[in-house]
């Protein structure tokens, strides 16, 4: 059941990210504060849906993969995250995703 739920979450994350308009992306990524607020809202929604920390981290990982492949960083914090993401192993990326969830979950 958890695997099915995790697959469903991944599909929903991918769909949501690909459906964002350029204006929405610009607004979310215009500052690190806006990005953290957006991610915080999504983590809150995930928690209300009953997702555990691991599932939230996997969704954050999917988001980070998408951003690293499709978006240019718009500030120094995003550039640092992108650089860390690019040099990290898959395990390190997963840990970074956990840290991002923890950062916005405060």
DSSP 2-56: HHHHHHHHHHHHHHHHHH--HHHHHHHHSSHHHHHHHHHHHHHHHHHTT--HHHH
The mean-pLDDT minimum among 39-43, 53-57, 63-67, 72-76 falls in 63-67
Between residues 30 and 88, which one has the greater pLDDT?
88
Q: Provide mean pLDDT across the span 7-34.
A: 77
With cut-offs at 50, 70 and 90, classify the pLDDT of residue 27.
confident
In whole angstroms, give the CA distance from residue 42 to residue 27. 15
Distance of CA 82 to CAs 39, 48, 51, 94, 98, Å? 16, 28, 25, 14, 15
Q: What is the mean pLDDT of the chain?
A: 86
Give the count of alpha carbons within 13 A of 42, CB side only. 25
The pLDDT of residue 28 is 83
Q: Provide mean pLDDT across the span 22-49.
A: 88
The pLDDT of residue 21 is 77
Q: Provide mean pLDDT across the span 68-91.
A: 93
């Amino acid at each position: 059941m958890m695997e099915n739920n995790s697959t469903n979450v991944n599909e929903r994350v991918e769909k949501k990210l690909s459906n964002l308009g350029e204006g929405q992306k610009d607004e979310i990524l215009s500052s690190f504060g806006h990005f953290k607020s957006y991610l915080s809202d999504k983590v809150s929604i995930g928690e209300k849906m009953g997702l555990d920390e691991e599932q939230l981290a996997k969704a954050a990982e999917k988001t980070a993969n998408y951003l690293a492949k499709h978006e240019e960083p718009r500030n120094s914090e995003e550039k640092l995250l992108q650089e860390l993401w690019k040099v990290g192993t898959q395990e390190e990326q997963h840990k970074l995703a956990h840290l991002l969830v923890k950062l916005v979950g405060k």
